[in-house]
Amino acid sequence: MEGPFPAKEGETCVVCYGKTTSNDLVYVIDGQRLPVMRELEAQFLANPLAYVKRETPPASAAILVAISILAGLAIPAAGLLLARRWQKRSTQKLTPDT
């Protein structure tokens, strides 16, 4: 853990989700900035890793993003295939059975 460093104006505190000021603090854990209001520093320092976990998206979120991207690619591809089929059918000459 590195810090404390001065917080930037308007960052979100990881303890209370309020907006920080330049008088508040930032800690860095595993390359992740964790802004903390100065009044809540003791609460944060009691268990800083708990706040890192809260800020890190779960692995399932990455899976959901991948699925939605693939679905977004699959739907236009299916539409393109259907359009080509329709185009082929509409260009075929209709002849009566005799």
Express each pLDDT in 3-52 by its tens digit: 899 999 999 999 999 999 999 999 999 888 899 999 999 999 999 988 88
Residue 83's pLDDT is what?
A: 64
Can you tell me the mean pLDDT for 58-83? 65
Give the pLDDT band of residue 93 (cuts 50, 70, 90): low
- DSSP element (H, E) containing 2: strand 2-6
Residue 34's pLDDT is what?
A: 93
Q: DSSP string of 29-80? A: ETTEEEEE-GGGHHHHHHSHHHHHHHHSPPHHHHHHHHHHHHHHHHHHHHHH
